[in-house]
Amino acid sequence: MSFLAVYESHFTKHLTQTQFEAFRILLWLLTVHKQVRIERLAACFPLPILY
């Protein structure tokens, strides 16, 4: 994920470590599934999310 590597220092200044990890997972899910449907992303997210 070259996008994240370029902006990582910026994101880590403004996000907590937990928020940054969730952001990384979300970016990965978006690149893999290429769909922006909240229900689909929530189902694939490795953490329990209530719909």
Residues 41 and 33 sit within 8 Å (Cβ to Cβ): yes
Rounded to whole angstroms, how far apart are CA atoms 37 and 20?
Answer: 21
Sequence ranges of the domains in the chain: 2-44
Rounded to whole angstroms, how far apart are CA atoms 37 and 39?
Answer: 6
Query: pLDDT digits over 7-39, tens only?
Result: 788 888 888 888 888 888 888 877 887 767 777
pLDDT of residue 49: 63
Write down the pTM of the prediction. 0.58
Residues 23 and 11 sit within 8 Å (Cβ to Cβ): yes
* Beta-carbon contacts of residue 33 (< 8 Å; ≥ 6 apart): 40, 41, 44
Rounded to whole angstroms, how far apart are CA atoms 14 and 45?
Answer: 22
